[in-house]
Structure 1
Amino acid sequence: MRAPAGRIAELADQCVQCGLCLPVCPTYALDRNEAESPRGRIAIAAALARGLADPTAGLREHLDHCLGCLNCEKACPANVQYGELLIETRALLGPAPQSPRQLLNLIKRPVLMRALRQIGGWLALSRWKGWLARRRPATSSWRAALLLMPTEAPAARARAGGKNHGQPRVALFPGCVASIDDAEAQQAAITLMQAAGFQVSLLPAFCCGAMDLHGGAAELAEQAAQRVRQAWGTSGATQLVSVTPGCLGTLLRALPGVTVVDPVELLATHVNALAFHPLAQRIALHLPCTQINVARSDNALLQLLRRVPELEVMPLPRPPYCCGAAGSHLLEFPERAAELRDATLRQVTTLDPQQLLSSNIGCRLHLAAGIDAQGLHWPTRHPLTLLAQQLIHAS
């Protein structure tokens, strides 16, 4: 269903054009172009909605370049619902013609993706993926996808074993890519939540619809939302969690009135039930935009990590405000995404860490590809994986 133009105009009219969003916008910093700022995109959306401009390829490209990081919402004194305006404008326009639909459809199918990853392991694809990627142009989505592919085999899918009868019931949403490449973190979340006294179940693995929602495929996004509601309805849980902050906004949209949170929020409220072995390491912490601006769980995560004795936790300085992954953006605009990623890695370099932590699987794969390209040697992990590794299990 296409978004009503009147709603877009109404959202755009909330903007007072003050420009306070410009200094926190990653794409404005990249281009220094008003059309690549939130203020400029709001003006474009309003013109399109009112029929004052045609949706030419050049005009809609400015909207497609937006990362949806929502730093602008945090800085806005008029409380403009920029994220909602962006979603509705993209729904009005429909998916971008240059969108790599075949690739995105593949990514949304975790069963198929896991099978392909296993076949890639048998063929030792990690040894020659770089050679194969270099045969594609720098703008190729398939080239970017090859470079993002982890070198290690995917972990077994997380399992929610054990019961804590009478304790709060929590369901974990695995997602699509995360169910394969963040299975270790999902198992870590289950381990930590059970140690904190929660009863945990696992929903089926499928796409929440985030890529469709933010890519203008409104009907496909609604189909995914219906599947989320069906899975939630049969879970019997009282709260839903995802280890991927990038999924949280879409899950919240699909399940109004349901408590949908980052598991670190729940763990932080039961922190006295958890104890950790010391770890004398210096770690850099990348805080994804969605963790700060949607989940708003950055403080809870820092609280948990600082419970590990001897661990030196160093959040990356801001700016830069976004690593450039931004859902499917790293596949649709790989060169722009790489520029933003390299700025983030320069900040990591100043901290001289022993490893790099990030909660969002897209961000972590994107950063890991940059680390590999630059010949650096930082292991990348989900923070929950580190916490579960250091957890002192009760006897």
Structure 2
Amino acid sequence: MHDLRFIRENPSAFDAGLTARGAEAASAAILALDEKSRAITTQMQMAQSRRNEASKAIGKAMGQGDSETAEKLKAEVAELKQSLPALEEQERALATELHDVLSRLPNLPADDVPQGADEDDNVEVARWGTPRDFAFDPKEHADLGPALGLDFETGTAISGARFTFLQGQIARLQRGIGQFMLDYQTIQRGYLECAPPLLVRDEAVFGTGQLPKFYEDLFQTTDGRWLIPTAEVSLTNSVREQIIDDLAKPLRLTALTPCFRSEAGSAGRDTRGYIRQHQFEKVEMVTICRPDDWQAEHDHMIASAEGILQALELPYRKVLLCTGDMGATAKKTFDLEVWLPGQSAYREISSVSWCGDYQARRMNTRFRPEGAKKTEFVHTLNGSGLAVGRTLVAVLENGQQEDGSVLLPEALKPYCGGLEILTPV
């Protein structure tokens, strides 16, 4: 959600930010609604004030025996009482319309975010690791995985497209990857482990920005709740409608959960294999902090995601997303893209975003600095640390041997019961 005062004072800058995101300028329509709403509010307040004054004057007139004046005042009060409900209804309708317009707009990009239309305009910032030289043609995971227990056919038979059935050693590997990530983020990076609900209400999905605009990407239950597309929804909303005392130390939260996405906007993309599924697991990181702390927390979160890739010895690159490729709630996003030798390409495995106070305004989450009377909106950040399924894909493709077996990274062996190699069955 956007700060209406900022729009009043900076309409051109607001429109420029929206245009950079590929959205239409909206300040004129917003300010027209705002002006109309404020005019109705003023009219209503004046009517209420006059009603109160006239009501007091009735008693005074009657006390002085001036019945004619008293009757005129009674008629005026009656007329004001009759007009007020209509004004109140107009005020509510305009407030709802203004809220709806603001809630559908994306966040404004930070000043240093590169201008661009799509992923082709993203800017590579750094690389880590050297892709392995293979003495054979490396396979994609979709060809390598079935012999190791990655069963696409059974998953499709049970649930339809974009579902996979894991069994045996590869199911153990996926569990180990998730546990390793969760331990790393909690023990080494200072995040508090949480086990949040997987079903949430409208208010929660609105708070993090998936509703109302992106409902097609979600799954909804018969009782109106939503399956979380990421633990960001549950973790961030854990502070909704709260005033946090001081917040001198950022609140860092993490969770390993199943995630559910309809992938409505990705028709035809990654239909083969395990990269884009309707159901997947992910370790999510969320930070709630003061506005002055966002940069340090963004750096910390990015490093926390990078640490997993480095521990698993997976080559990757860091990319700064352009204005046209960022998620709607973000002000600034870095993607980490892992090297997949089977595709001979870098593919996204983590997005780490700073959202400013955009989500905080939607959730009405504030903090009160020690000794201060006024409250301020918090800033929120979120990132993957990491997507478990995509990490499994990267481990398979980077560790594959010519005979179809897969050597596991040292860091995962304690989490896989000492298993060192996956062997084809």
Please indicate the TM-score interval, normalised by the length of the shorter structure.
Answer: 0.3 to 0.5
The structure that is strand-richer by fraction is 2
- Normalised by the length of structure 2, the TM-score is 0.32
TM-score, length-scaled by structure 1 = 0.33
